[in-house]
Amino acid sequence: MAESSSSFVVSTSHTRHDVFLSFRGEDTRDNFISHLYAALQRKNIEAYIDDRLQRGEEISPALETAIEESKIYVIIFSENYASSTWCLNELTKILDCKKRYGRYVIPVFYKVDPSTVRKQEERYKEAFEVHEQLFKDDMDKVQRWKNALTQAAELSGWDSKVTRSLYFLHALFQIIKISFHLLNCVDLTIDQLFLIFYFSFLLVSHGFDHITSNSLSFVLRSDVHSSSF
């Protein structure tokens, strides 16, 4: 977690969406994303999902607005995420909002190693070989994409290859649900959300799959009162 944002209070002002899901459709739309989206909807957590099959190179102004107006970002890195300039532009916009507003970002590594994303190896390397040819006159943009992948992959997140498959989707849902609930109850700093995230990961990974916000209140700083939950 970057030191420059750790003391920021997470801003939820002027937000319309609870969660923004960034994903590569061909890898995740019909399995992982559809199940996660349905689970969030059942709990009345409004998730923004751009499910258009045809996308251009640049994200639309409407999508930029949706990113600006979301409380939590879930980025699902998959094998072909980096091959989409649309996804890469979403990612840079998300990290910009994280920096400006202190918003909460949850990276998910779906059947891809975090180091592959961080170092742009394997399919990510192949994708950037194509990008460097297509955008040879705008290499600054390509470098921004690389920097964004590295930055996002260094955040604490979920690795589907490590977390037991039985708990992976459910665990991620639990984290989003708890984060959403807490953000609506009290102002939290990035540090506090990180502690919640890490503690929840430990609990769910060990089979404690019914976590409540009450069970997490002790991880917050003393300036946040447990009675707020």
Residues 105-118: tens digit of each pLDDT: 989 899 999 999 99
1's CB contacts (< 8 A; 6+ apart) are 155, 156, 190, 191, 194
At 92, the pLDDT band (50, 70, 90 cuts) reads very high
- The boundaries of the domain holding residue 108 are 13-163
Is 141 a domain residue?
Answer: yes
90 labelled catalytic? yes
Structural domain total, the chain: 1
pLDDT digits (tens, 9 = 90+) for 139-180: 999 999 999 999 999 987 778 776 555 456 666 776 676 666
Do the domain assignments include residue 220? no
Asked if the structure places residue 183 within a domain, the reply is: no
Task: For Cα atoms 102, 183, 217, give the angle at the middle one, nearest 5 degrees.
Answer: 110
Task: Flag whether the pTM goes above 0.85.
Answer: no
Any domain includes 190: no
What distance in Å separates the CA atoms of residue 18 and residue 84, rounded to the nearest whole number?
Answer: 24
Residue 85 lies in a domain: yes
- The reply to whether 95 falls in a domain is yes
- The answer to whether residue 119 sits within a structural domain is yes
- Over residues 28-55, the mean pLDDT reads 79
- Helical H runs in the chain? 25-28, 34-42, 61-68, 85-101, 114-119, 123-134, 139-153, 165-185, 190-205
Q: Token pair 């072909």 is at which residue? A: 80
Backbone angles phi, psi at 102, to 5 degrees: 70, 30
Catalytic site residue from 68, 90, 121, 122: 90
The CATH number of the domain holding residue 156 is: 3.40.50.10140
